[in-house]
A and B are shown apart, each in its own frame.
Chain A
Amino acid sequence: AQKVTQAQTEISVVEKEDVTLDCVYETRDTTYYLFWYKQPPSGELVFLIRRNSFDEQNEISGRYSWNFQKSTSSFNFTITASQVVDSAVYFCALSESSGGSYIPTFGRGTSLIVHP
């Protein structure tokens, strides 16, 4: 079974629309970490946010916001007033302990296309 599910393969929006990228995870650990990364067309992976399992506080950073809900094992990402530069593939990842190391498992990614 997939540990991180990003059910939306591709989302297409028009500039200034709000968009939410879904992420559902699966773990038996009580301590774990969740991440979002952005991969623009240039290919590099850019870290966006980290959340640990004990911190369910939602976070807002400019036009970006994240909603972490342990009850539904979800860590969704919303972009408000989307811009063309937001076009990228977005990855959600889960880190669990493995012999002292924490190795992230990535979802398959959601490709966001923002049209002008």
Chain B
Amino acid sequence: DSGVTQTPKHLITATGQRVTLRCSPRSGDLSVYWYQQSLDQGLQFLIQYYNGEERAKGNILERFSAQQFPDLHSELNLSSLELGDSALYFCASSVGLAGGRGEQFFGPGTRLTVL
């Protein structure tokens, strides 16, 4: 158990809908990262937040947005969903800003299915 929690574990929804994925980092970790894993694109970095502020952005669609709250949990909002958004979404956390220099702790993921 990495200490990172994600809810829900599974999500099934329809095209055009909006969903929110939630992540709670390990206790004491200030950085949260979101990743998308799909068969087409592999494991791709979406966005990083550090202590409430956006710090790095990857291949995140404009239909997607995220935020990190004062209690450090983070939410990833996916809107106008398309079939191609079906994927496993991971959240990871690290203590500092440069979590990519060290170990990132990954949550169990949320599997999103868009029908």
Q: Which residues of A contact B (CB under 8 A)?
A: 33, 37, 42-47, 50, 52, 91, 95, 97-109
Are B55 and A100 closer than 8 Å at their CB atoms? yes
Is B95 positioned at the interface, with any CB of A under 8 Å from its CB? no
Are A99 and B108 in contact, CB atoms less than 8 angstroms apart?
no
Q: Which 3 A-B pairs have the closest CB atoms?
A: A102-B100, A95-B100, A45-B106
Q: Which of B2, B43, B99 makes the CB contact (< 8 A) with A44?
A: B2
Contact-residue bracket for chain B: 20 to 34
Collect the chain A residues with CB atoms within 8 Å of residue B101's CB.
33, 52, 95, 102
Partner-A contacts on B (CB < 8 A): 2, 33, 42-45, 48, 50, 55-56, 58, 88, 90, 92, 97-109, 111
Determine which residue in A44, A50, A52, A108 has the highest number of CB atoms from chain B within 10 A of its CB, and name it.
Answer: A44
The reply to whether B108 and A101 contact each other, CB–CB distance below 8 Å, is no
* Known A33-B100, A104-B100; contact A47-B105, beta-carbon cutoff 8 A: yes
